[in-house]
Amino acid sequence: MEKEINIAIFGSGNGSNAQRISEYFADKEGIKIATFVVNKKDAYMIERAKNLGIPCRVFGRNDFYNTNNVTDYLKEMDIDFVVLAGFLWLVPENILQTYPRRIVNIHPALLPLYGGKGMYGMNVHQAVIDNKEQESGITIHFVDEKYDEGTTIFQAKCNIAPDDTAETLAQKIHLLEYEHFPVVIEQVVGNLQHNN
């Protein structure tokens, strides 16, 4: 029998994608959301973890960038794969090396457009609206040492109506994320298992 794949979801804030992904995999065999890893003490994602009965750990900047505390924890939890869902820091080298091509991120725009440092959350949607774009979307990609530059795995688009605002666009994008992110994770993890 194939080993169950344990996933850690990293986030910094609200955590609605983390919740959606956890609910999607709750009754599936072979993939388990084993923990949330959060870098902000007041992230609502911590509350969501409690409600979902999923372990959650908070690590600060020093843990991430000057110690092996995070990789030690991931090993202790037997984590095979990492999902970034609204995680706002660069992933440090020691985590990248521990999980080569085993870390994915979701970005709320059609990369390479509207990516890079400072392009997160509502900043992205406001920039898209300010530039009067007619479409936006989501990008799911592998993570490397730069912001938003790893290989693209999947994109989906939505139209922007003339009366859309950054807020209404954010809602459209979230719906796309909830629809596709869990399915794409399932596919990537499935490919991983077959290639091993």
Applying CB under 6 A, the residues found at the interface with ligand GRF are: 11, 13-17, 85-86, 106-108, 121, 173-174, 177
Please state the closest distance from residue 14 (CB atom) to ligand GRF, in A: 4
Residue (20 or 68) nearer to ligand GRF, CB: 20
Of 105, 109, 107, 106, nearest to 133 (Cα)?
109
Please state the closest distance from residue 169 (CB atom) to ligand GRF, in A: 10
d(CA 78, CA 172): 35
Using an 8 Å Cβ cutoff, are 156 and 180 in contact?
A: yes
Residue (13 or 150) nearer to ligand GRF, CB: 13
Which H helix or E strand runs over 35? strand 31-38
Residue (36 or 64) nearer to ligand GRF, CB: 36
Using an 8 Å Cβ cutoff, are 12 and 89 in contact?
A: yes
> Which residues, 6+ apart, have CB-to-CB distance to 66 below 8 Å?
none
**Is 107 part of the annotated catalytic residue set?**
yes
Please state the closest distance from residue 58 (CB atom) to ligand GRF, in A: 15
Tell me the catalytic residues.
107
